[in-house]
């Protein structure tokens, strides 16, 4: 069916549209205010939600900052404090700490001995020092 395409129905639509164009200024103003009020109600409804997000974000940042301030400052790079406390190495967050394994620390502790061996010409092959088994 296409009753809705009949000429008299098109004329009906035209008349109805014309009636909306004939609305007086006061009515149009009231409609405008009603629309603005509806949109404002949405803004009011969303505002507390966005405020809540902002407060939550600020709180999270403050908490992260507080935690960061409470941690001890990192040791200066020139101070090998970790050598005095090898156990602390594995608990550090710095990935570079993994470069210093416990066996290597023994090598540095016995460094004087290896220097003496070297000066006496008794050092082992340079490619494979074994600090755990001195000659």
Residues lying near another protein in the complex (CB under 8 A) are found at 3-4, 6-9, 11-13, 15-21, 23, 27-28, 30-31, 34-35, 37-39, 41-43, 45-46, 50
Judged by beta carbon, residue 54 or residue 111, the one nearer another protein is 54
| Cα dist from 64 to 4, 41, 55, 69, whole Å | 66, 35, 14, 9
Least distance (Å) between residue 37 CB and another protein: 7
Whichever of 13 and 102 has its CB closer to another protein, that residue is 13
CA distance 16 to 12: 6
Smallest distance from the beta carbon of 40 to another protein, in angstroms?
9
Distance CA(110)–CA(126), nearest Å, equals 16
> 64: which 2 tokens?
């992260």
């Amino acid at each position: 069916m296409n009753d809705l395409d009949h000429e008299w129905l098109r004329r009906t639509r035209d008349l109805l549209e014309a009636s909306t164009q004939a609305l007086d200024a006061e009515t149009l103003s009231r409609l405008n205010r009603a629309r603005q009020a509806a949109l404002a109600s949405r803004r009011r409804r969303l505002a507390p939600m966005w405020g809540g997000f902002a407060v939550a974000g600020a709180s999270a940042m403050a908490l992260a900052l507080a935690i960061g301030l409470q941690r001890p400052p990192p040791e200066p790079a020139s101070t090998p404090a970790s050598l005095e406390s090898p156990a602390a190495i594995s608990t550090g967050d710095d990935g570079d700490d993994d470069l210093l394994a416990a066996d290597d620390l023994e090598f540095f502790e016995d460094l004087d001995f290896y220097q003496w061996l070297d000066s006496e010409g008794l050092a082992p092959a340079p490619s494979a020092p074994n600090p755990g088994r001195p000659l």
